Amino acid sequence: MFYETASNDHGLPHNPFKAIVSPRPIGWISSLDADGRTNLAPYSFFNAVSDRPPIVVFSSSGFKDSAANAEATGEFVCNMASWDLKDEMNVSSAMVSNETCEFELSGLEMASSRLVKAPRVARAVTALECKRLQTLRLKDLDGADTDNWLVFGQVIGIHIDDSIIVNGKVDVTRFKPLSRLGYMEYAAITEVFEMARPKV
């Protein structure tokens, strides 16, 4: 099948786009607002986009609290969601007012970050402390503003729980990072394989 996205005439019961661009890692963004209130929310329009320096990005569909907080404070933490935190991650995505602390809502303990003020998820086995670099409002093909905002952050500190380091490497089968697929589907990485790059 083929369809054009302008008409979205795929004829399927649900839009397949996100199932095609899958899996997507889930950046679980913790931040503080200008008054010091904590905020936590998952973003699967998220990825690392550079490693020297390490830079991550999340995309806010609408200018949500995480984007506003990153703008207001210049900082955020990206906790990586993993299999054993899937339910808490899901609860923290509830659309609640900024008076409600998603850490409390999802029964999660906070831990202090080292280099930024925003707390991190204590049980997350990896977390990236970030300083906001820029926020970019996306335009469409007509040059019109969309309501999608990319927040770029440079990673300045990285937490790794010792339990997932095996033989000097992060063992992804212990980490079990959670991925977002399409529809209501998720996956967790439980198997890996190695492949060397060709020697030219």
Distances (CA, A) of 30 to 41, 45, 52, 68, 141: 7, 15, 23, 12, 32
Decide: is 135 part of the binding site for ligand FMN (CB under 6 A): no
CB of 85 to ligand FMN, least distance (A): 12
Q: Which run of H or E residues covers position 67?
A: helix 65-73
Distances (CA, A) of 147 to 11, 17, 60, 114, 150: 26, 18, 8, 33, 10
Count CB atoms within 10 A of the CB of residue 56.
23
Residue nearer to ligand FMN on the CB measure, 66 or 126: 66
Decide: is 30 part of the binding site for ligand FMN (CB under 6 A): no
Interface mask toward ligand FMN for 159-188; x: CB under 6 A:
---------------------x--------
Residue nearer to ligand FMN on the CB measure, 24 or 165: 24
Residue nearer to ligand FMN on the CB measure, 44 or 73: 44
Residue 156 CA, distance from chain mean position: 16
Interface mask toward ligand FMN for 85-124; x: CB under 6 A:
-----x--x-x-----------------------------
Decide: is 39 part of the binding site for ligand FMN (CB under 6 A): yes
Give the integer Cα–Cα distance in Å for 69 and 65: 6
Residue numbers 43-72 binding ligand FMN by CB under 6 A: 43-45, 59-61, 64-66
Residue 154 CA, distance from chain mean position: 14
Q: Which amino acid is at 146?
A: T
Size of the site for ligand FMN (CB under 6 A): 17
The residue with tokens 């990072």 is 177
Residue nearer to ligand FMN on the CB measure, 90 or 165: 90
Residue nearer to ligand FMN on the CB measure, 96 or 133: 96
Whether cis (ω within 30° of 0) applies to the bond prior to 23 is: yes
The footprint of ligand FMN (CB under 6 A) covers 26, 39, 41-45, 59-61, 64-66, 90, 93, 95, 180
